[in-house]
Each structure stands twice: as structure tokens, then as C-alpha cells.
Amino acid sequence: MKYLILLLILSTSIHAAPVLNENIAANGSQVTIWPDHRDANHFYYAPNMMNIAVDRNENLKFHLTEYLTNCNFARRCVKRGMLNVFFVAGYREDQLKDAQAGILRLNPHARFSPIPFLSSQVEFGKILSPFVDEHDCSPRAGQAADEVPCSLILNPRGLMTLLPYLNDGKTLPFKFFYRISGVLSTGDGRFIDEMLNYSITVNLGDEKLINHPDLN
Amino acid sequence: MRSLLLVFIFMCGNLWAAPILNRNMSFGSDLILWQDHLDKNVFYYLPSSIQVVERYHWGFALSKNEMKVAFTQNVDKVKLERSKKALLAHYPKAVLVQYELNKFMVPLKEYHKDFFREYRCINNKDAKEYIAYCIFQLTQKGVDVLIPFLKNGKILPLNYVYAIDGVLELADGTFKKYVQESAIPMYLGGDVVVNDPDMQAFRAD
């Protein structure tokens, strides 16, 4: 019986969660770092950017193909484009290191982990709707450093407008949302449970896309 | 007797080991390591992607209108080693376990119907050689557009949607059961497909 109670106590007392209303990164920093509510040496950091991923040859993971579909009896078809882009959430390394160094000066035992997502998703909003027939950007995306694949099916207007726009190095903004679970500090030493949604603005497009072979 | 029974029932709920999904214990890399809520030395990780298996392991086969593809789990071993090393400094008895993905589906979108007449993916619980085996029946557009697309080294992304039975750590140190539904990118394409003999032999009519 004593062992059962001991196990019960152990199983409910050794863990902790991020304090989501206490960003302890220095003022002016674009990095978010949350402390753990029980372990004074454990901190969590949040992603603050999202880029187009690269393969092992450093090529952008940006793939486009055009094709004809919905052909009628007169063999008139609609041209579509399938654009597959892979994004990855990340951190501005210099800003993150500066913020971590500031915490390490005060607490040399500090350890840092990326915040785990409970869920994540990409939302394009209405900005792309005139150009895109369909999109699939992982309504259920994965963990912090996982690639997020986005497939856009471009309609003829999208092919005519969007591709030259991207080829000029211009960008289209959209949002990457993620949901995390932690606690909120009530200011009197107590904590309450909380789940919060955060977002990062992502740009579809990159100056590296200028003269990309798939856009020419 | 009644209180003993209540404690027993409560304990039974807690004895089912599960990852703590709102706490990452990976200090050495951007990998996610979930600690077990009952055994502090057990940590779970997930594959970072699902990729096509090379042919000699079952891999890829392309016939006129059909593509058979075995997918395997890809773990970033460099990140895993870095995280393990950092973790062992704090938990010398730490054991890292790949979370077994049993419940899954590979949902296709409407536009995939341009390329696939039909498809079927089955799970392999053993997960040693491959985790999913998919058969895609290609439409003529699939043959004319998708196969050349893949042959050029491009990738059609699919999603391996999974569910994890875990727990969330609450403010008072107790746990609440939580089922996390998420997705791992599943890459149909890449070097393995480009270099496959069936793909090499493919000629568009």
C-alpha cells in the first residue's frame, strides 16, 4: 500500500509545464522564451520564422508542374499548375543565442528546448483564393522542426499572375498557427492550466526564387 | 476497503504509461522528446518524415497504370544523438524509444484524383522494413504528368496522419489524458524513386 501511495506521489510531482505568460527573453528581443513552472533550469523557446526548406544539395524544395485538365469534347482544356513547397519553422539563430546567453549569465544551469506543439496548421486566408483552385498545407502539421508540405493547385489566373510575381522575388504572406499547452502564473505563486494559439507570418516566396528553373 | 478500491481505480488510470505531450525534454537539438509520465527515464521521439524505401527492401514498383510504394520512417540520427547526449547528462539512465505509430491514415485531396483513380495504404505494425505500403492506380494524367514529375526528382507530398495517446501535465502536477492528432510529411518521390529501375525505364508515350 505504501508503495502504491509513493508511486502515486512520484507520478504526479516530478514534472512541469511552460509558463506561457512569462516570456523572459530580454526586452526588444524577437525571441520568446518561457520558463518551466517547476524546474527553474528548464526553458522553452518558440519558433519565430518559417522558410522554404532546402534539400541536401541546398536546392529549395519548391516544385512546380503544369498540366491540362477538364478537357471538353472539343478538346479544350483548362491549364493548371501543381506547386509543392516545403516549409520549415525555425529560429533566428543569432537572436536565439543572444537571448539564451542572457539567461545563462543569470542561471548557468539553464537548459533550452523547443516548445512542443499540440497541433499546427497553415492558413492562407482569402488572399490566394483568386489564384488557387485548391490547397493542402497540412491541416494537421507536425512538430517544431518538421517540414510542412504545401500543395497549391493554381488556376490559369494563378499561372499567369502568381508565377511571374514569385519569379520577381516578391512574396505572399500567410499564417502558420500552432497550439501549445502550459500554465499561466496568477502572480501569487499559483498556476492555472492554459492552452494558447500562436502564429508566425510566413512568406510564400523568396529572393532565391528569382530565376528558379520551375518559374521559367 | 472502499477507499482502497478508489485508490486502486485511480492508480489504474495512472499506471498506463504515456508521453507528456506538452513538455519537451530535448536540450541538444530541435527534436521533440516526450518524457513518459510514469517512468522518468523513458523518452519518446517521432520520425521526422516518411520516405520511400529502396527497392531491395521492397521499395518501389511502377507498371503501366500502377505504382506500388513502401514507405519507411526517417529519423534525423544526428539530432537524435545530440539530444541523447544532452539528456544523458541529466538522466544517466535515459532510454530513447521511437513512439510506435499504430493508428494512421493517408488522406488524399481532391486534386490527387487527377492522378490517382484509386489508392490503398496499409499499415505495417512491425515497422522494421516499412511502416506503410501504398498502391496507387494511376489515371492517364497520372501517367502523363505525375510520373515525369517524379522522374525529375520532384516530390508529391502526402500526409501520414497519426494519433498519439498521451497526457498533458497540468498546473497541479497531475496529468490529463490527451489524444494528439498530427501529421508527418510523407514524401512520394526523391532520389530513391528517380533511381529506381522501373522509373528509369519509364518512357512517356
Whole-model pTM: value is 0.84
Chain B residues with beta carbon closer than 8 angstroms to that of A111:
27, 86, 90
In chain B, which ranges are E strands?
19-24, 34-36, 42-45, 49-52, 60-62, 66-74, 95-98, 104-105, 116-123, 132-138, 155-169, 175-189
Task: Give the C-alpha separation, A62 to A114, whole Å.
Answer: 26
Which residue, among B14, B22, B179, B180, would best test binding to A if mutated, counting the most A CBs under 10 Å from its CB? B22
**A119, B182: Cβ pair inside 8 Å?**
yes
pLDDT recorded at residue B12: 46
| Residue A80, beta-bridge partner list | A67
pLDDT band at A9 (very low <50, low <70, confident <90, very high): very low
- Cell numbers linked to B125: 505494425
Chain B residues with beta carbon closer than 8 angstroms to that of A120:
182
Average pLDDT of the residues of chain B = 85
Question: How many CA atoms within 13 Å lie on the side-chain side of A186?
Answer: 7
pLDDT recorded at residue A57: 84
pLDDT band at B13 (very low <50, low <70, confident <90, very high): very low
pLDDT recorded at residue A2: 54
Chain A CB within 8 Å of residue B25 CB: yes
Q: Which residue has the cell 495504404?
A: B121
DSSP 3-state of A87: strand
Give me the helix-helix angle, B2-15 and A2-13, nearest 10°: 40
Strands B95-98 and B42-45: parallel
**B114, A67: Cβ pair inside 8 Å?**
yes
> Burial level of B24, CB count in 10 A (0-12/13-18/19+)?
buried
- Cell numbers linked to A111: 537548459
ipTM of the prediction greater than 0.90, yes or no: no
**A148, B90: Cβ pair inside 8 Å?**
no
**Cβ pair B143, B154 in contact under 8 A:** no
Average pLDDT of the residues of chain A = 84
Assess whether pLDDT exceeds 60 at residue B102. yes
pLDDT band at B1 (very low <50, low <70, confident <90, very high): low
pLDDT band at B146 (very low <50, low <70, confident <90, very high): very high
Residue B109 DSSP label: P
Residues in CB range of B139: below 8 A, 6 or more apart: B113, B114, B115, B116, B117
**Mean pLDDT, rounded, for B73-78:** 88
**Mean pLDDT, rounded, for B2-26:** 69
